Amino acid sequence: MKSGIKLFFYHLRKNKVGFAGFIVLLALIFMSYILPYFVPLDMETRVNEIFKPPSWKHPLGTDFQGRDILNQIIHGGKDVMNVAFMAGLISTAIAVSLGAVSGFVGGKVDMVLTSIADIILTIPHFPLLAVLAAFIDFKSSVGLATLLGLLSWPGAMRSIRAQVLSLKERDFVEAARVLDLGTGHIVFKEIIPNMMNYIVMNMIFSMRSAVYSQVGLIILGFVPFTSTNWGVMIHYAWSRGAIFFKGSLMYLLAPIAMIALFQWSLVSFARALEGVFNPRLRGE
Amino acid sequence: MLFVIYVVVTFTFFLIRLMPSNPVEVYIEDLMTNYAMSYDQAKNLAASLFSYDIDRPLWLQYLDYMKNLLHGDLGKSIVSSNMSVSKMMATFIPWTIFSVGSALLISFFLGVILGRIMAYKRGSVLDHTLTTLASIVTAIPSYLIALILLVFIGIHLKIIPLKYLRGAYSPGIKPGFNLKFILDAIAHAVMPVTTYVISTVGSWMLSMKSNTLNVLGEDYILAAKARGLREGTITRKYVGKNAMLPLVTSLAISMGFVFGGSVIIENIFSYRGMGWLLSSSISTRDYTVMQGVFLVITISVVLANFIAELLYAKLDPRIRR
């Protein structure tokens, strides 16, 4: 018998793309959360080193204030990932609780909750976020993450509701009900563990959409972020003319590559997880 | 559907009036301090711009707002004074309809064709390459694709002259129904349209592929083959139609998504459509324009969803009751 973790890696490795995504995701997390402890942030302006092409001293060149780009790439991921993770967590928490209630209780409650979800689902999110950004001052990333989470739960909520509806009729839930184990026990001990795969995947997908909206808002300059951040780097590369010089292209391309890699690794990891959780998709 | 529109309209009303930094109050303050107006003068000007009376109770203001909205009156722009918001939007809307519309169509049909090829040649090198490409492009945010295209095609490789990458048409050319203007407008639309197509075609390809594979396993395909129907007929009339059906509803979702992306992408290419107008009105705090554009974008997406549902019922006799 193989242990759980070993089994997890065994099935993960079967999906080559998914495994690659998993490795890239780990590498990005390592770079953004561990490396900054060893490489100090250097934000000193050096007037004589503005927009320098890549060299031994600056492997990715320098930005419009003569600061090292690689240094900023290393320090710029944490913010993006933090917001994505928090937004994903909030959105998933709402989706799971409302989805479970909606599916389990049914009736009027179900109708009200699903119509709220439908309304939020049809409103285009990015214009809404942009408009809200004009009124709300996002001083911290927590505020932004909360708003992103509050907007992105409906899709996940609907698929969790559908899951609950189908699980509710299964024998083991029926058995629990006959044993009079209580709604709380049935929901948290019987139903939710059985749809962990849906929950994890929905969380990853809402993280992905959180990255999209967050970086988009930063590029347009609607969210005042002062710290180093991949999105802020793109914003400056775009607004300070780095795109017009061959030597400074890395200032734009490096953060773009990082965000694209992060998004891609999230999606492929989620697809691979589907295979790990769902034995029917594993093939031989 | 009408209910959703009503919710959006009401939400926008309260968003502008009840936020801690009420734009109407801010505007009045601004007029008083910077233009040395009396409070009454400033209030009257603000009332005419937002087209409602501040002194009246909130629920009457709300009724006024709804009434004006039904008449297509969205007030006047704060920044470009005396310009009515609906007239202003009328000059921007055609560009978004043109670029987003053509992009959605190109992307849809390209995705359907490629997806079908992938399904028929499944397991081949072509299928693997296209599947990988499609999943990579879907993962990258559309505005990053726009930036990459702009930097490489426009600035460094100079495939398309930079002047076509800014604006919706060249400054010297007068809009009108002549060849010169039409060609110029198309040249300016190439980049935004390409961006939308690249960022959406991947998901069409992938869903068309999986739908086609599902349909190919259906019994009625086997029956059609057994009846000796020609391969071409089966591909077009049996497989194609059934695999495309579920995609029709996604078209509306995709439209909402592209509209959202256009806020950033039109900004990157300075393409003067609704997305550009929304982001510029947000940066200049032109609340009346912002409210108008947001309402138009949201209502059209809601309508598109509604139409897609109707269309689906019309196209698929199986869900008709």
Summary mean pLDDT of chain A: 82
> Which residues, other chains included, contact B137 with Cβ-Cβ below 8 Å and sequence gap of 6+?
B145, B198, B199, B201, B202
Domain B85-320: which topology? MetI-like fold (1.10.3720)
State which amino acid sits at residue A90.
I
Residue numbers in B near A132 (CB within 8 A): 15
Of B20, B140, B298, the CB nearest to A263: B140
pLDDT digits (tens, 9 = 90+) for B216-230: 888 888 888 888 888
CA-nearest of A213, A200, A196, A113 to A154 is A113
Longest dimension (CA), chain B: 86
Q: Does A212 contact B at CB distance below 8 Å?
A: yes
Which pLDDT value is given to residue A196?
A: 80
Of B143, B156, B256, nearest to A219 by CB-CB distance is B143
In what helix (H) or strand (E) does residue B104 lie, and over which residues does it extend?
helix B85-120
Determine the angle formed by the axes of helices A77-105 and A249-277, rounding to 10 degrees.
30
With 70 as the cut, is the pLDDT of residue B321 above it? no
In the predicted model, is pLDDT for residue A283 greater than 50? no
pLDDT confidence of residue B115: 92
CA distance to partner chain A, nearest, from residue B230 (Å):
33
- CB of B150 closer than 8 Å to CB of A243: yes
The token pair that represents B301 in the structure block: 């997406």
Phi/psi for B84 (5° steps) reads: -75, 140
Segment B187-203 shows an average pLDDT of 90
Q: What is the pTM of this model?
A: 0.83
What's the pLDDT score for residue A87?
93
Helices of type H across chain A? 4-14, 16-33, 69-75, 77-105, 107-122, 125-135, 141-168, 171-178, 183-185, 196-219, 230-239, 249-277
Question: The domain A22-37+72-278: what is its CATH number?
Answer: 1.10.3720.10
Q: How confident is the model at residue A226 (pLDDT cuts 50, 70, 90)?
A: low
DSSP annotation of B177 reads S
- Chain A residue with CA closest to B140: the answer is A260
Confidence class of residue A4 from pLDDT cuts 50, 70 and 90? Answer: low
For chain A, the structural domain boundaries read 22-37+72-278
pLDDT digits (tens, 9 = 90+) for A161-214: 888 888 877 888 778 878 877 777 777 777 777 788 788 888 998 999 999 999
CA distances from B291 to A224, A267, B7 (A): 22, 35, 14
**B4 and A135 in contact by Cβ < 8 A?**
no
Q: Are B272 and B99 in contact (CB under 8 A)?
A: no
Chain B residues closer than 8 Å to A221 by CB: 283
pLDDT confidence bin for B202, thresholds 50/70/90: very high
What distance in Å separates the CA atoms of residue B93 and residue B101, rounded to the nearest whole number? 11
Measured CA to CA, the distance from residue A76 to residue A62 in angstroms comes to 15
Q: Is the pLDDT of residue B55 over 90?
A: no
pLDDT at A3: 63
| Average pLDDT of the residues in B183-210 | 89
In sequence order, what E strands does chain B have?
A: none
Please tell me the distance in Å from B36's CA to the nearest CA on chain A: 26
Question: Is residue B27 over pLDDT 60?
Answer: yes
When CB atoms are compared, the residue of B21, B138, B257 closest to A135 is B21
Averaged over A35-41, what is the pLDDT? 81
CB proximity under 8 Å: B 137-166 to A: 138-141, 143-144, 147-148, 150-151, 155-156
Q: Quick: pLDDT tens for B131-160.
A: 889 988 888 889 999 988 888 887 777 777
What does the alpha-carbon distance between residue A7 and residue A13 come to, in Å, rounded to a whole number?
Answer: 10
Mean pLDDT of chain B: 82
Q: What is the pLDDT of residue A199?
A: 86
Interface check A131 vs B, CB under 8 A: yes
- pLDDT surpasses 90 at A86: yes
pLDDT at A284: 37
Where in chain B are the domains? Answer: 2-70, 85-320
Give per-residue pLDDT as tens, B240-296: 888 888 888 788 888 888 888 899 999 888 888 899 999 888 888 788 888 889 988
**Termini Cα distance of chain B:** 20
Q: How far does Cα B187 stand from its chain's mean position?
A: 20
Higher pLDDT, A279 or B113: B113
Q: How confident is the model at residue B31 (pLDDT cuts 50, 70, 90)?
A: confident
Q: How confident is the model at residue B171 (pLDDT cuts 50, 70, 90)?
A: low
Q: What is the pLDDT of residue B319?
A: 66
DSSP B233-284: HIIIIIIIHHHHHHHHHHHHHHHHHHHHHHHHHHHHTT--SHHHHHHHHHHT
pLDDT score for A1: 45
What's the DSSP call for residue B155? Answer: I
B171-190 average pLDDT score: 77
Q: Is the pLDDT of residue A282 over 70?
A: no
Q: ipTM score of the complex?
A: 0.82
Q: Look at residue B205 and tell me whether its pLDDT is greater than 90.
A: yes
